[in-house]
Structure 1
Amino acid sequence: MKFRALFVFLLLACFCLSLAQGSYENCCLSYVDSVKPSVKKAVRSYRTQETDGGCNIQAIVFKLRKGKVFCANPEISWVRTLMKKLDAKNKKVENRKKSG
């Protein structure tokens, strides 16, 4: 009886640990091919997803005004251009805050 209880406990512990490993990841699994200009204007920020941990693809995760996100391939030219525009915009905002 004790052996069965111990076996069930260990089985449940392993099951819970395996579920917990994947639950903390928020990874892109694919890229968008293109986005409309209106969507590009709605982008507020971005972050880089690396291929470490549970994420298998490198991606740029763009965040829109209302909290929605989309993932893009960092090697595509429109993605790099959009990142540069966001960086320049954020730098301009930081400079205004420092001077005023």
Structure 2
Amino acid sequence: MTFLSVPAFHSGLPNECCFHFYVNPLPKNKVDDYRLTSPYCAKKGIIVTMQNGKEFCVNPDQQWVKDITNDIDQKKSG
């Protein structure tokens, strides 16, 4: 189940926000990429994209999320 917002249609509002977070750790080897939600969202969030194209909102303060984003950042830089 994904937890993304619907796109905002009003000018000046963020396009994607997380309203609920997926709480179970996702397998690091199945995550393809991630992106941050807008700083204008009520909750700070990260949207992870899985290899199969599914997307999940996750809490950037969770250690397992930090591990995934660090791993992806290292792969991109090196």
Q: Is TM-score (shorter-chain normalized) higher than 0.5?
A: yes
- 2:63 aligned residue: 77
Provide the rounded CA distance (Å) in 1 between the counterparts of 2:16 and 2:62. Answer: 22
2:4 alignment partner in structure 1: none
Give the aligned partner of residue 35 of structure 2.
Answer: 47
CA RMSD of aligned residues (A): 2.2
Q: Which of residues 24, 32, 35 in structure 2 aligns to 1:34?
A: 24
Counterpart Cα distance in 2 of 1:20 and 1:50: 15
How far 1:25 moved relative to its partner?
2.2
Structure 1 unaligned spans of 5+: 1-18, 93-100
What amino acid does structure 2 have at the position aligned with 1:91?
A: S
- The TM-score with structure 1 as length reference comes to 0.58
Once the two structures are superposed, the pairs formed by residues 1-100 of structure 1 within 5 Å of their partners are 20-21=9-10, 25-37=15-27, 40-52=28-40, 55-92=41-78
Query: Relative contact order, CA 8 A, sep 6+: which one is greater?
Result: 2
Number of residue pairs matched by the alignment? 69
Q: Normalising by structure 2, report the TM-score.
A: 0.72
Contact 1:59 1:74 in 2 (8 A): yes
Distance, in Å, in 1 between the alignment partners of 2:26 and 2:49 is 15
The answer to whether the 8 Å contact 1:61/1:71 transfers is yes
Runs of 4+ residues over 6 Å off in structure 1 = none
Q: 1:77 to 1:35 in 2, by over 3 A?
A: closer
* CA displacement at 1:36 relative to structure 2: 4.3
